[in-house]
Chains A and B, each alone.
Chain A
């Protein structure tokens, strides 16, 4: 096509994609620091590994596709994918698993569809789902939070564990790892414990799991800052958290012994991360406002269903991927009424 080089409008465009991505990374900083505080420096190492793997594989594919490498890498979207993926995995995940997920996210979920803007699935979640299914043991090997352990591994020990895949300073993993609060609750409910009994366990804090709840708070603060800065709009986080809370509320009111409270669901697991940082990925989300509300509400419902009755303790990744599938349909049926088309 031939679009005239100079034509209206003549105003300079706003902050670009790179700045949007940079702000996403900035918004994630407080939660990352909280994560380091509660679970040790593993996440920082994982972020470095994942981001490097993402950048490396993106550069490689761009080269194979004969596309300009600098411009695409410069938009920081690959870094965001890596960082978000690293946020979802246990702190001492062996490096090859992290790298595996990152490479899958970039190569298969993103570049093979045409790169940024063309990927139907959220790359970070696609990568996470692959390694979660492929390496179930490593991917559930979560450390106990700072409050519950005497042996929080430092930076050298964490690095060694990640690089070797062996537990730091101990013959086995058993001493230092524990189930996540969501996992624990799920298992205990299956063992016919009541929710209040489960909540009495030491691993729980005010809203949800110790450590987890505060990471979730910092994620929410980062997310609200992104809304304030116009990086994301409020519809997706609000719709997703509202639908998750509503589902949780209905069942919890009906049987508080068997079902966890809305607060537990919202502040537990990756709900907050999903609401503000994952589901808000514009490329793989619905594109109309109404569509986004439906899309995000769907993620909330699916997350609740997977958490409560599914095979996994958390369901954000699968819920997001399933709703990604529905996006073309949602977009089709949520077109706004064009000006002058009658009411």
Chain B
């Protein structure tokens, strides 16, 4: 066996839940491209890191794939026009974010021609290209983690040391979502191609592809693609289907039996985890010069006429996704971005598609957990049984209920991955995950405030020290002057002494000016 390969020691993460997948709703049909929209709405803060900086003017003509907003900061990413058309300025729309606030979205009116920008051409010989060239191309193409984290992939690669093992995450564990499943069934070659590019960019020769056992078609398609590629560096692992098996940390534990250190990254133990959708996007970006302007999104839910997987352009209003999926037959249905366990509720159907939107879920009100009958915690411990982070949610809840953030932190609040398992098993129907999300926010705020206060204190102390030093200097000078005067007087050499005093007077004035400036 190749010595650089990491050992696959089948482990099992703690807890987890067997959930009804509901994936058949959408996974049976082929991925369908969505027709062109009239207008696209690009949210410039849709990724992890700083918001992109707009670089087009109102009325400007843009082409598909043209950069409309530049990368800002190390971990930011550029945003590209999803089709050709005219920039129509900004419009406030509800953002697909946890706080449901409104955000300014860049509007692009389609001209219906969908002409592509030719700024970037495909790197036909990527397998000879330098890793840096590949990373740069990935960064230019606006590639972010499409599993939901939307962390800039180029930054992730740049952070990894050479020789890491690449884990290709095809374990799509949340109910209802099947976009990665569809992608693996239909575009397995792109995924493998993208992974090969990633291996070169990472300087690695080891890739584990992890797929849940309940996706036999995806496994078969990936096996065929692997056989065609004939690449020895790949291994395909079938893992148990258990929520949250696709969570990065849980997947790593399942595959290697090792744990990512708390507060650390997979890179710390020589691993890089990339979603299969991201790999396919990388393949398109590098080989065909196509930046990330579309993604596969599952549009599903029991209240939709024809759920399915769709190839959607970033910026499409979700209203059009619902229309494409046969419309919604429940006017009171609730829209969720992502799955039912970790998804974000959407304020309405004007919200545009963002790179993170792996699923648009429409659930009837009756299927939701709100308005539930909460009871006191009876410490049954079911939450701890299912917690993949091995936490004691009952104890953290006990502390947070009375706003004791520090004790909650000692129970490991920061290690909570907000998977929602504890919520779902709680017989007292407590919204535990919401408490933990809130508690983490409060702790973060306290840390920021503490740091700010500490900084202010340091500034104040530095200033005091400076003033004290100046005072001491002044006193020392004064003392020297006095001493010289005394000496002159006792020596009786008045003429020389007067000269000396005058000279010192001059220099002391200059010194005072100096000190005035430093203050």
Same complex origin of A and B: yes
A2 interface residue, CB < 8 Å from B? yes
A132 interface residue, CB < 8 Å from B? no
Chain B minimum-CB-distance residue to A342: B261
Q: How many residues of A contact B (CB 8 A)?
A: 42
A336's partner among B336, B384, B394, B420 (CB-CB below 8 A) is B384
A3's partner among B264, B340, B438 (CB-CB below 8 A) is B438
- Beyond A9-B340, A288-B384, A339-B249, whether A4 also contacts B262 by CB under 8 A is no
- B-contacting 9-mer, from A10-18, A157-165, A267-275: A10-18
B369–A10 contact, CB under 8 A? yes
- Beyond A7-B345, A9-B424, A13-B429, whether A339 also contacts B378 by CB under 8 A is no
A9–B389 contact, CB under 8 A? no
Interface of A: prevailing SS: loop
- Beyond A8-B340, A287-B392, A336-B384, whether A17 also contacts B363 by CB under 8 A is no
Chain A minimum-CB-distance residue to B341: A9
B341–A11 contact, CB under 8 A? yes
B378, B433, B434, most chain A CB atoms within 10 A: B378
Q: How many residues of B contact A (CB 8 A)?
A: 65
CA–CA, A2 and B438, complex, Å:
8
CA–CA, A270 and B323, complex, Å:
65
A9–B376 contact, CB under 8 A? no
Contacts of B403 in A (CB 8 A): 1
Within 8 A of A (CB), among B384-426: 384-385, 388-392, 394-395, 400, 403, 411-412, 415, 418, 420, 423-426
Contacts of B506 in A (CB 8 A): none
Chain A minimum-CB-distance residue to B98: A7
A196 interface residue, CB < 8 Å from B? no
User: Shortest distance in angstroms between B266's beta carbon and chain A's nearest beta carbon?
Assistant: 11
- Beyond A10-B343, A12-B369, A339-B390, whether A4 also contacts B378 by CB under 8 A is no
Contacts of B343 in A (CB 8 A): 8, 10
- Beyond A8-B420, A288-B381, A340-B415, whether A20 also contacts B370 by CB under 8 A is no
- Beyond A6-B345, A10-B336, whether A338 also contacts B427 by CB under 8 A is no
Contacts of A331 in B (CB 8 A): 395
B14 interface residue, CB < 8 Å from A? yes
Contacts of B249 in A (CB 8 A): 339-340
Chain B residues at the A interface, C-beta cutoff of 8 Å: 13-14, 19, 98, 175, 249, 253, 259-264, 334, 336, 338, 340-345, 363, 367-370, 372-373, 375-381, 384-385, 388-392, 394-395, 400, 403, 411-412, 415, 418, 420, 423-429, 431, 433-435, 437-438
Not counting A9-B424, A117-B377, a sample of 18 additional A-B residue pairs whose C-beta atoms are within 8 angstroms of each other reads A1-B435, A6-B370, A8-B344, A10-B340, A11-B19, A11-B341, A11-B367, A12-B367, A20-B380, A20-B427, A233-B385, A282-B379, A336-B384, A338-B390, A339-B253, A339-B262, A339-B415, A340-B249
